[in-house]
């Protein structure tokens, strides 16, 4: 039977289930990646499983999120990650080498493989024809243990590309266009598979920009075929042997289809404070820009930075606009330097940052109060930049460069520049020697921990009856940045749950933590798409530590829902969305968890006497995990019972 590209890869990795939308499947995972901000927790959980060595084909631990090292916390984390990697057979990418997704694309991603990463932008590797998904750290730890990765089979939507990008439109505008059309929840439960004659016109880094930011659609992942462009990229990276051709069968049937004519696209920008608030750049003409930041896992390839250099060649950025540039990897930085483009950027007034996430996650580079910042990144959630009232716009490197040159948004119709097409460079210097490959015989490697590495708190099983005050009622599209803010100071506490839990919902409601502590236990009431954005499991772990046992919402984002289950927080959906209006913060919800069963609704009552119908799509196994108090408890109990039977 004819198959989509997605089905081909899934079929090859299927351990259980049927490839029918909505059915529960489990996949073997070939590769995993982690980054430092989620990695320490992932490896603490890995250690708690007591296995001698990872069982994947390849696992890589990157350090890119928090490299500021203000005090001992980050360096402690980095040292722990380096030693744990050597001990358990994991490749280690030291701080400053580059951003995890850009490095993985350049050095390790392979067409036709499965990859899960403890970062929501793991689908970047879909630009290379890998089936790559973001997941919580605990899910990644289990994949490293060789456990199949459970997933609800998504719908597969074909994105049929025709034409070719023209003028100043670029790959970023393709995904911004889709975000404008589909919104930040338009891709929940969907894999976007790109096809059509337009595909061949896009290089692998351009494809990776599109699959990267597919995460903002809420998609499970996005994927491009593996073709001549893929071969050219792999050859350039000295990895021709990793190439296999891969595409959908011509008459494959899809669950859905969208058409995009690349030739009609114009430069776009996402306005504050959501990636789907997309407007044509022309509509922003005249708006003063205080800061421009180029980089992030979305747009930090050589071609991206080359475009910026070509636009700024021989010019000086206006003095009222700060230009920050963070290359995606040391290879990109070396290429810029070899091509003489680093000089161009520095002479234009750019501030060169480390090859890391940097301002994208609020690690420095915050805009001034109320400042307009144009960023080539993927998220512009309120406060994420570190400045609560900053106005952050997301745009392509080309748009960003014109904003830097002019100190304001200008109409693309007025732009002129000698831009070369975003072709691959002729040669890429290897930085492979910078990775630390684990020794074969690693049993004696000593894992080094500092005072910032605090063991995981134990969690009790789910009580049979929950009587919980609604600690917080939120609106729609609450992000994990709202639940567990990032930024330098808070991210430095990622290995210390008691300490980081002091910041839960800090930017939404400064009283939340005190209220949760006073109540001892509680629940959250959310709107649509609760928990969108990052994969950070701290957005589940820290609320759980504060006693949150239940989240009731109109709908959930995929990774966050999985994280809630992993940490024993019950995610239930309102059967009647109108009930959301009837429930108020402070009132108490009562629920018999003994009644939880697959495909069965459950009724809660409030102390005011109202009944609330709740639904869920939890599997039997997920209910068992919740009853055990979380995945780690469940896995360890399973192991113990297997050991006692052996």
In this chain, which stretch among 132-140, 353-361, 432-440, 552-560 interacts with ligand SF4, using CB under 6 A?
353-361
Active-site entry in 101, 379, 408, 503: 379
If binding is defined by CB under 6 A, does position 119 make contact with ligand SF4? yes
* Catalytic (active site) residue 65: yes
Distance CA 643, CA 646 (A): 5
| Contact positions with ligand SF4 (CB under 6 A) in 82-101 | 99
Q: How far apart are CB 134 and ligand SF4 at their closest, in Å? A: 10
* 341, 319 Cβ separation under 8 angstroms: no
- Contacted entry of ligand MIC, ligand SF4, none for residue 496, CB cut-off 5 to 8 Å set by kind: none
Largest Cα–Cα separation, the chain: 75
Active site residue 64: yes
Nearest Cα to Cα of residue 402 among 167, 98, 163, 102? 167
Quick one: how far is CA 402 from the chain centroid?
28
Nearer to ligand MIC by Cβ, of 38 and 300: the residue is: 38
Using rule CB under 6 A, residue 357 touches ligand SF4: yes
**Interface with ligand SF4 includes 378 (CB under 6 A)?**
yes
Selected from 297, 484, 492, 557, the binder of ligand SF4 by CB under 6 A is 297
Q: How many residues contact ligand SF4, by CB under 6 A?
A: 11
> Is 536 tagged catalytic?
yes
- Summarize as ranges the residues that interact with ligand MIC (CB under 6 A): 37-38, 65, 119-121, 134, 361, 379, 486, 533-536
Choosing among ligand MIC, ligand SF4, none, which partner's interface includes residue 142 (Cβ < 5 to 8 Å by kind)?
none
Q: How far is the CB of 65 from ligand MIC (least distance, A)?
A: 6
* Other Cβ atoms within 10 Å of 400 Cβ, number: 31
Respond yes or no: is residue 181 known to be catalytic: no
Residue 66's binding partner among ligand MIC, ligand SF4, none (Cβ under 5 to 8 angstroms by kind) is none
Catalytic residue among 65, 121, 207, 538: 65
C-alpha atoms less than 13 angstroms from C-alpha of 237 in its C-beta half-sphere? 27
CB of 304 to ligand SF4, least distance (A): 13
Q: Which does 141 bind (CB under 5 to 8 A by kind): ligand SF4, ligand MIC, none?
A: none
Residue 238: count other Cβ atoms within 10 Å of its Cβ.
Answer: 12
Please state, in angstroms and rounded to a whole number, the distance separating the CA atoms of residues 390 and 583: 33
Angle at the Cα of 506 from the Cα atoms of 502 and 508, rounded to 5 degrees: 150
In contact, 144 and 271? CB cutoff 8 Å: no
Asked if the peptide bond before residue 560 counts as cis, ω within 30 degrees of 0, the response is no
Adjacent-strand bridge partners of 374: 292, 393
Residue 121 is a binding residue for ligand SF4 (CB under 6 A): yes
Q: 534, exposed or middle or buried, with CB in 10 Å at 0-12, 13-18, 19+? A: buried
Which of 11-19, 142-150, 283-291, 356-364 is the region at the interface with ligand SF4 (rule: CB under 6 A)? 356-364
Determine how many CB atoms are found less than 10 A away from the CB of residue 222: 31
Q: In 59-185, which residue ranges form alpha helices assigned H by DSSP?
A: 73-88, 100-107, 137-144, 171-182
* 538 near ligand SF4, judged by CB under 6 A: no
State yes or no: is 582 an active-site residue: no
Question: What are the catalytic residues?
Answer: 64-65, 119, 379, 534, 536
Q: Which residues bind ligand SF4 (CB under 6 A)?
A: 65, 99, 119, 121, 296-297, 357, 360-361, 377-378
């Amino acid at each position: 039977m004819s198959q989509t590209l997605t089905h081909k890869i899934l079929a090859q990795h299927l351990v259980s289930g049927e490839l029918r939308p909505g059915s529960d499947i489990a996949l073997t995972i070939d590769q995993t990646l982690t980054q430092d901000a989620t990695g320490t927790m992932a490896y603490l959980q890995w250690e708690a499983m007591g296995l001698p060595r990872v069982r994947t084909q390849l696992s890589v631990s990157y350090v890119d999120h928090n490299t500021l090292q203000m005090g001992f916390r980050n360096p402690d984390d980095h040292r722990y990650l380096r030693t744990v990697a050597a001990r358990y057979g994991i490749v280690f990418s030291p701080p400053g080498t580059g951003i995890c997704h850009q490095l993985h694309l350049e050095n390790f991603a392979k067409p036709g493989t499965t990859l899960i990463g403890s970062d929501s932008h793991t689908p970047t590797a879909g630009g290379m024809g890998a089936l790559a998904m973001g997941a919580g750290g605990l899910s990644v730890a289990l994949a490293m243990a060789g456990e199949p990765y459970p997933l609800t089979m998504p719908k597969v939507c074909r994105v049929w590309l025709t034409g070719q990008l023209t003028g100043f439109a670029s790959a970023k505008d393709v995904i911004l266009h889709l975000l404008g059309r589909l919104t930040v929840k338009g891709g929940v439960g969907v894999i976007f598979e790109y096809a059509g004659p337009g595909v061949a016109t896009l290089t692998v880094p351009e494809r990776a920009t599109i699959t990267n930011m597919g995460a903002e659609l809420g998609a499970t992942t996005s994927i491009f075929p593996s073709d001549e462009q893929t071969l050219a990229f792999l050859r350039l990276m000295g990895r021709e042997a990793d190439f296999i051709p891969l595409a959908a069968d011509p008459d494959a049937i899809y669950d859905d289809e969208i058409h995009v004519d690349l030739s009609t696209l114009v430069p776009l920008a996402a306005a504050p404070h959501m990636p789907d608030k997309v407007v044509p750049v022309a509509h922003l003409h005249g708006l003063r820009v205080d800061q421009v930041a180029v980089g992030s896992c979305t747009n930090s390839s050589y071609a991206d930075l080359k475009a910026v250099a070509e636009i700024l060649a021989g010019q000086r950025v206006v003095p009222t606009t700060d230009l920050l540039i963070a290359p995606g990897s040391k290879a990109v930085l070396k290429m810029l330097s070899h091509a003489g483009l680093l000089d161009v950027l520095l002479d234009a007034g750019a501030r060169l940052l480390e090859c890391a996430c940097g301002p994208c996650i609020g690690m420095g580079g915050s805009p001034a109060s109320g400042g307009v910042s144009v960023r080539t990144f993927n998220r512009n959630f309120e406060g994420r930049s570190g400045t609560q009232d900053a106005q952050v716009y997301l745009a392509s490197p080309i748009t960003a460069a014109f904003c830097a040159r002019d100190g304001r948004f200008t109409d693309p119709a007025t732009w002129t520049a000698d831009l070369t097409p975003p072709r691959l460079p002729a040669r890429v210097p290897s930085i492979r020697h910078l990775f630390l490959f684990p020794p074969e015989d690693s049993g004696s490697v000593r894992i080094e921990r500092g005072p910032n590495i605090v063991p995981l708190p134990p969690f009790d099983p789910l009580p049979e009856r929950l009587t919980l005050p609604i600690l917080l009622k939120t609106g729609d599209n609450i992000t994990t940045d709202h639940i567990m803010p990032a930024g330098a100071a808070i991210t430095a506490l990622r290995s210390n749950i008691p300490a980081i839990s002091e910041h839960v919902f800090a930017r939404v409601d400064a009283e939340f933590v005190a209220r949760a502590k006073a109540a001892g236990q509680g629940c959250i009431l959310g709107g649509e798409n609760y928990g969108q954005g990052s994969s950070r499991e701290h957005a589940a772990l820290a609320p759980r530590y504060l006693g949150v046992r239940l989240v009731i919402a109109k709908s959930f984002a995929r990774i966050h829902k999985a994280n809630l289950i992993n940490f024993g927080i019950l995610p239930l959906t309102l059967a009647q969305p109108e009930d959301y209006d009837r429930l108020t913060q402070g009132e108490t919800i009562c629920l018999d968890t003994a009644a939880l069963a697959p495909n069965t609704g459950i009724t809660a009552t409030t102390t005011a006497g109202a009944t609330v119908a709740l639904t869920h799509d939890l599997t039997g196994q997920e209910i068992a995990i919740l009853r055990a108090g979380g995945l780690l408890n469940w896995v360890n109990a399973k192991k113990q019972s297997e050991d006692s039977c052996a």
